[in-house]
Amino acid sequence: MTLQTNACWHHERDGDEGVTTETRRKPVGRPAGAGKSSGGHSQSLVRGLNILEGLAAAPGGLALSDIAQIVGLAPSTTHRLLQALHKQGFISQDAELGLWKIGVKTFQIGNTFLEARDFVATARPFLRRLTEETGESANLGIRDDGMAVFLAQSESPQMMRMITRLGSRAPMHASGVGKALLAWLPDKEVERILQARGLSRVTDNTIDTPARLREGLAEIRRQGYACDREEHAVGLHCVAASIHDEQGHPLAAISVSGPVARIPESRLAELGGLVSRAAREITIQLGGYVPRHEEAAKQG
């Protein structure tokens, strides 16, 4: 992570910027009454999806009467929909209690989404937005083998800006991205990382004692973002926030970094609000869950 001063501009073209247009032709010889049938099928599909959403919000299961109330249908109509979903494996029924629950096939579909999600591609538009809002470089990093690894960056247009080589690593305790990730890890995992990596001093401002680090991580959880005050590189300030998975665990982190001359202490809270908002939006888009600071995922 270095400061670069030059007048060069780097333009990165992302694949998600393409626009595709499609011309649809009206089908020839459409049977009479097809529109009515299609609408009926669509209505049944929407009702079925509403049932799945209701069951997903009630892990313990729901009775027929409760489900009918959720979808606003008669119990007889609701039961027919439940039977259709059950036949396809999307829901199951507790034979003893008569409660309906989410089935294996629904879980499999949801799990496929989790495996296929690409948080780097999802985060890129938010990194660009952060650069536009702040005028500074925005970064995305993950945790790997007890280190913070940078995977994506939106460069600042300023002549003097922070440049991070993609794939480069930084100590977790001495970087904004690293501390944002550490703050939401279980205590046992934090201890394991500290035992393996230690708390080496990178600059005079680097946190180098477990007590100071724990105090700093608690503050990160309270305020929702981490600050790197020249802890990884002299002359650089950084603000970072964590992206969470569906369990509330840290999946990655995004940050905004720049020279102290443009990011003084008085500006850290403002940037922290922007970065934490973007991290929360990415988390939601990925189907994740933003934990409250008192939850902290500290169970072990």
Structure tokens that stand for 148 in this block? 């913070």
The number of distinct structural domains making up the chain is 2
Greater confidence, 217 or 10? Answer: 217
Evaluate if residue 226 carries a pLDDT over 80. yes
Q: How confident is the model at residue 167 (pLDDT cuts 50, 70, 90)?
A: confident
Greater model confidence, 43 or 249: 249
Predicted pLDDT at 116: 54
Judge if 100 and 241 occupy the same domain.
no
Structure-block tokens of residue 77: 């109509």
Instruction: Say yes or no: 125 and 190 in one domain.
Output: yes
pLDDT of res. 43: 84
Same domain for 131 and 74: no
* Residue 1, C-beta contacts closer than 8 angstroms, at least 6 positions apart: 150, 162, 163, 164, 168, 170, 175, 232, 233, 236, 257
Percentage, residues of the chain above pLDDT 90: 58
User: Are residues 73 and 106 part of one domain?
Assistant: yes
> Is 75 a member of any domain?
yes
The range of the structural domain enclosing residue 199 comes to: 117-285
- Is the Cβ–Cβ distance between 143 and 172 less than 8 Å? yes
- The overall pTM is greater than 0.85: no
Rounded mean pLDDT of the chain? 83
Per-residue pLDDT, 274: 98
Say how many C-beta atoms besides its own lie within 10 A of residue 231's C-beta: 27
Last residue of a domain, one of 115, 143, 177: 115
Whether 7 maps to a domain, the answer reads: no
Residue 297 located in a structural domain = no
Rounded distance between C-alpha atoms, residue 208 and residue 116, angstroms = 38
Is the pLDDT reported for residue 35 higher than 50? no
Q: Are residues 46 and 160 in the same domain?
A: no
Looking at 86, 115, 144, which one is the last position of a domain? 115
Residue 232 sits in the same domain as residue 90: no
Verify that 124 and 254 share a domain, yes or no: yes
- Report pLDDT for 2: 53
